[in-house]
Amino acid sequence: MQQPRHNLSRTILALFAAAFLLYTPAIVRAEDTPVTLGISPAISDIQIGRGQTLRREITIDNKAATPVAVRVYAENFEAAGPYGAVSFNTDNTKQYSASSWLKLGNQNLVLNPHERQTLTFSISTPADAEPGGHYAAIFFEPVAAISSTNSSSIGISQRVGALLFITVGGNNTEQGSVLGSQTSSKCTGLQCSFKTDTWREWGPVPFSFSFENTGNVHMKVSGKITITDMFGRIMAEVPVDEKTVLPGSSRAFEATWLREVLFGRYNAKLALVYGTQRRSETAAISFWVIPWRAIIAGIVLVSLTGLTIYIVRRRIRRRAARKHT
């Protein structure tokens, strides 16, 4: 009777071992280890004229303990959505493309462990280049050879890129606005983007808005939100972190007033500055903070306390009246 149980136990263990081997890689190749590359500068803001050529450098650093071959190439980039993401493409017919203006000094690099190299490249604008912003990225893509028993192949790991914000001199227009706002400092209309909840119980109070770049060059946008109470007293100034907005796109901004205990009506005025000319844009909203649950709980507590005191006092009076009788 013991032998079948022993065999059954060995069979179960064998099944568990087989499952473990199926879902666990037997060998970890050196090529599977991610290659870590560092580049500097990661972002470059470049001013250039029509028909002009400039030379620039990018430093690339192999932070891994193994050598790595790197492929170097350029692509265009543009805004992809309101949250700062960008998308890359090779379409040089687009208005803001610039990758075709780049000439890379070396498109194939080999870096030894912990070696640092410098890539020299040039930017040459056409004589009829359109003034304004143009955008390109230089990518560094590690390429590792992966060999197997039956074949050889090339594996590509994660790439890193340097973004080039190129401004061609000429008739450049720096113009933008908070979506839905007006210059009268009032934020109105169905598309009003500067907002927070009209009613809330407690802080913190989050604000959000979208800034649209209607010019032809990228702009840095920053500012602050000034909050006043119902008596006009300044309660806080909340900074709006600086962000870059590409031309022909809008970008979402967020800021938070961290104070938690609040009560009453508040006004919030958004004041932005943008571009090299430090142009301004404003918008304003109002909101209420009423901790109604706490108020109701307080009323109930006070009522219960008053009722309890009334009942206790009534009983004391009755007892006193009985003693006198």
User: CATH classification of 176-291 is 1.20.140.10, yes or no?
Assistant: no
Question: Residue 289: enclosing H or E segment and its boundaries?
Answer: strand 279-289
∠ CA 125-131-136 to the nearest 5 degrees?
Answer: 55
The Cα–Cα gap between 316 and 323 comes to 11
The share of the chain scoring above pLDDT 90, in percent, equals 61
pLDDT at 163 over 90: yes
Q: Which residue has the tokens 């119980």?
A: 201
Q: Which residue has the tokens 């990225």?
A: 137
Other Cβ atoms closer than 10 A to 270:
25
Predicted pLDDT at 325: 67
* CB 57, CB 39: distance < 8 Å: no
The whole-model pTM stands at 0.75
Predicted pLDDT at 264: 94
Residues 16-35 have pLDDT tens digits of 333 333 333 333 333 444 55
Average pLDDT, the chain: 83
* CB 300, CB 293: distance < 8 Å: no
Three-class DSSP category at 97: strand
Supply the Cα-derived Rg of the chain in whole angstroms. Answer: 33
Q: What is the dihedral of CA 312, 315, 320, 325, to 10 degrees?
A: 170
The share of the chain scoring above pLDDT 70, in percent, equals 81
Lowest mean pLDDT segment, chosen from 33-47, 73-87, 104-118, 124-138: 33-47
Three-class DSSP category at 27: coil
pLDDT at 113 over 90: yes
Residues 46-72 have pLDDT tens digits of 999 999 999 999 999 999 999 999 999
- Find the length of the chain: 325
Residues 241-268 have pLDDT tens digits of 999 999 999 999 999 999 999 999 999 9
**Segments of the chain assigned E as strands:** 37-40, 43-48, 53-62, 68-79, 86-89, 102-104, 108-111, 116-124, 132-147, 152-156, 160-168, 176-178, 199-200, 205-213, 219-228, 234-245, 249-257, 264-274, 279-289
∠ CA 304-307-313 to the nearest 5 degrees?
Answer: 140
Handedness of CA 54, 57, 58, 64 (dihedral sign): positive
Other Cβ atoms closer than 10 A to 145:
10
Show me where the domains of the chain are located: 29-168, 176-291
pLDDT at 8 over 50: no
Predicted pLDDT at 187: 55
- Dig out the tokens for 119 from the structure: 């890539």
The Cα–Cα gap between 313 and 322 comes to 14
Residues 211-224 have pLDDT tens digits of 999 999 999 999 99
Q: What band does 295 get if pLDDT is binned at 50, 70 and 90?
A: confident
Superfamily designation of domain 29-168? Immunoglobulins (2.60.40.10)
* CB 219, CB 232: distance < 8 Å: no
The Cα–Cα gap between 130 and 94 comes to 11
Domains 29-168 and 176-291 agree in fold: yes
The Cα–Cα gap between 61 and 156 comes to 18
Other Cβ atoms closer than 10 A to 160:
18
- Dig out the tokens for 221 from the structure: 């946008």
Three-class DSSP category at 198: coil
